[in-house]
Amino acid sequence: MLDGNHLTDTCGVQIKELIRKLRLEVSQKKANQEIVDLEKYHSEYHIISTEPENHHRVDYILATLEAKEDFCITGFSRLIAYGKAIFLYTLQYLIPTSMMLFELLIISDILGVTTIFCGVFAAPSTITGCKQC
């Protein structure tokens, strides 16, 4: 099944680390009754969240499908959203896969296994019959 965990989420990991540091400092300063400098954490959060965006449209769609309590998407609209997510997720693999298949066909023509591109790569005198490729 398709889910939102297929992409590496460095932004989320960095925010979780920032939360851990903040909780640790809050607990330490609370024991000493000191004030936590939240501006430092705010600036770190701003740096993390404004780095080059690593989320894609498919991530948002998958997140809305997973968060059933926050987003009321049911029935046909849920099916459409799921289909759109699958399409957007597989679209990024379409061009590289088609290029590899094209290369495989060219190599198999060169080796004589197939004759798909025989008319394209053959000399004009050998096109008829196309058995000499």
pLDDT value, residue 51: 65
Q: What is the pLDDT of residue 122?
A: 64
pLDDT along the chain (133 residues), means of 10: 50 83 86 83 80 68 83 88 89 92 90 81 57 49
Q: What is the pLDDT of residue 60?
A: 80
Token pair in block for residue 61? 């769609």
The pLDDT score that the predictor gives to residue 104 is 94
The span from the CA of 95 to the CA of 45, in Å, is 36
pLDDT at 80: 92
| Locus of tokens 């499908």 | 65
The DSSP secondary-structure symbol of 112 reads: T
pLDDT at res. 76:
92
Spatial distance between the Cα atoms of 86 and 81, rounded to a whole number of angstroms: 9
Residue reference for tokens 């896969």: 97
**What CA–CA distances, in Å, run from 116 to 92, 96, 97, 105?**
27, 20, 18, 8
Residue 125's pLDDT is 54
Q: What is the pLDDT of residue 98?
A: 95
